[in-house]
Amino acid sequence: MADPTAVSFKRDLSDWRIALVAWRLLVLQAADPVVGAGMTEHSTYRAHPWRRIEHTLGSGRRLFYQDAEALRREVARLDRAHKRVRGTTPDGRPYDARDAATRVWVLLTLFECVVAMRSLGGDRYDAEQLELVYGEFREAIAAFGLPEEELPKSAVDLPSYFARYAREKLEFNEAARYLLDGILREAPRPGRLWFLGDAGWRVTRGLVARVIRELTVADLPPVVRERFGLVATRRGALLSVLLHRGAGAVVPLLPDRLRYRSPEGQRPPRRYRPMRRDARGPRVDRFFREVLDQTGDGYITAHDLRAMAHNVCWQLDLDEAAEARVYEAFDGWWEQLRAVMDADGDGRVGREEFTAATLAGCDRGEAYLEQGLLPALRAVFTAADTDGSGFLEFDEYRAVFGGPRVHPAELSHGFRQLDTDGDGRITVEEFLRGFTEFFTARADSTSGAQLLGRP
């Protein structure tokens, strides 16, 4: 028998092989009717699928890698985020992301994902190891205060729990179906595949979509495939064996620094490429496409602005009061946009409509920006100024504006555009002036015009 003390759930969660079952994890979570409804109405997974995966796995790493205080903060952050995810489905069913059974399902799919990774890779947990890692898992999620009756008491009970939940609750709903059949044919290029270029990615992603679909269907639990009416093909089964067993043979031979992802690890940034020159109209249009339209559907709604607020709060790991101020400011920004631009009252604003109205509003004076955008930016500045100094140092700026899709050269360039006096820190006045210039300056030579990259 294998040494049970040689296993660790949190270590296995950071194994790079987790990428092979990541899409399977998303499909299982989305198939819960509450999760599916929340994703359809509140999530940006259609435009940012890779960010959705990173946030899901990143939250798992926060839960299992941190000390008790950090764990408490992450649970509180998730509680606040889920409090906003509620509503009514098109067929009239109310949903609330705080539903206890749904939260248990989402957490247990993370555990089951790691178990499946080991099993498919040929290094399955034995019975004693499985109980050990399940105990480690339950110890971490105890901070959620979930009802004991909702959780399987031991790892032995997990298969029956999954079978029952799949048969009684799961649906092959719009979100799960789109994840499996549609999203990868439209997904933006992952940052680490910068070398393909946009044209290369458009050619490649069709093949990627077929491979991931075949692999995901083959890897889904049989009870879920039966529930969804899916059939694993021989090609998918062979692909699953080759990928999982191949990774299972190779990855464990690597040194730990290569086998396991650091909890704070970041994806390599995309290669810096100078941006083409923008005039004022194209700058605003680009801001809409790259910043505001979080769902990528060509419109902005209240959900897009809240998704931006969520991402700011995620990056900065804010407390409840600071998080509330950010959301309040972004809600106010949306109310301004809705009042000025949503002429037909359908709750959304199109790209051309936004560009034209923004240019017209800025032509009337800076008061237009003061009514919506600038209060939101003040809230971001205050949240990012973690030491309360009244300035943003570069590390504070990077915490909110950096990320895997931002090259360090672009990040440094944006910081320099805002730091107009060159003292190595940004005041709130410099911060707001830079964004005001981005929308109002007619010349590309103005420093604020280059906040999204060099023209």
DSSP notation for 383-442: HH-TT-SSEE-HHHHHHHH--TTS-HHHHHHHHHHH-TT-SSSEEHHHHHHHHHHHHH-S
Q: Compute the average pLDDT of residues 209-213.
A: 90
Q: Compute the average pLDDT of residues 22-44.
A: 86
Confidence of residue 98 (pLDDT cuts 50, 70, 90): confident
Which has more pLDDT, 355 or 71?
355
Q: Give me the pLDDT at residue 372, please.
A: 83
The pLDDT mean for the chain works out to 82
DSSP 274: P
Domains of the chain: 4-259 (no CATH), 280-450 (1.10.238.10)
Q: How many CB atoms lie within 10 A of CB 133?
A: 23
Q: Give me the pLDDT at residue 406, please.
A: 64
DSSP notation for 373-390: HHHHHHHHHHHH-TT-SS
Q: Give me the pLDDT at residue 113, please.
A: 93
Q: Compute the average pLDDT of residues 75-89.
A: 77
**Whole-number Å distance between alpha carbons of 247 and 242:** 8
pTM recorded for the entire structure: 0.63
**Whole-number Å distance between alpha carbons of 13 and 35:** 22
Q: Give me the pLDDT at residue 446, please.
A: 56
The pLDDT tens digits for 53-71 are 676 666 766 677 666 777 7
Confidence of residue 455 (pLDDT cuts 50, 70, 90): very low
Q: Give me the pLDDT at residue 454, please.
A: 47
- Evaluate if residue 307 carries a pLDDT over 50: yes
- Evaluate if residue 270 carries a pLDDT over 50: no
Q: How far apart are the first and last CA of the chain?
A: 62
The CA dihedral of 4, 7, 9, 10, to the nearest 10 degrees, is 140
Residue found under tokens 């509180």 = 76
The pLDDT tens digits for 157-195 are 999 999 999 999 999 998 899 888 887 777 777 767 777
297, 34 Cβ separation under 8 angstroms: no
Which among 234, 244, 225, 301 is positioned nearest to 121, based on CA atoms? 244
Q: Give me the pLDDT at residue 2, please.
A: 45
**Whole-number Å distance between alpha carbons of 244 and 119:** 9
Percent of the chain with pLDDT over 90: 26
Confidence of residue 37 (pLDDT cuts 50, 70, 90): confident
413, 398 Cβ separation under 8 angstroms: no
Residue found under tokens 């083409």 = 276
The pLDDT tens digits for 371-430 are 888 888 889 899 889 888 998 888 888 888 876 556 666 777 778 778 888 888 899 898
Q: Give me the pLDDT at residue 228, please.
A: 93
Which has more pLDDT, 255 or 65?
255
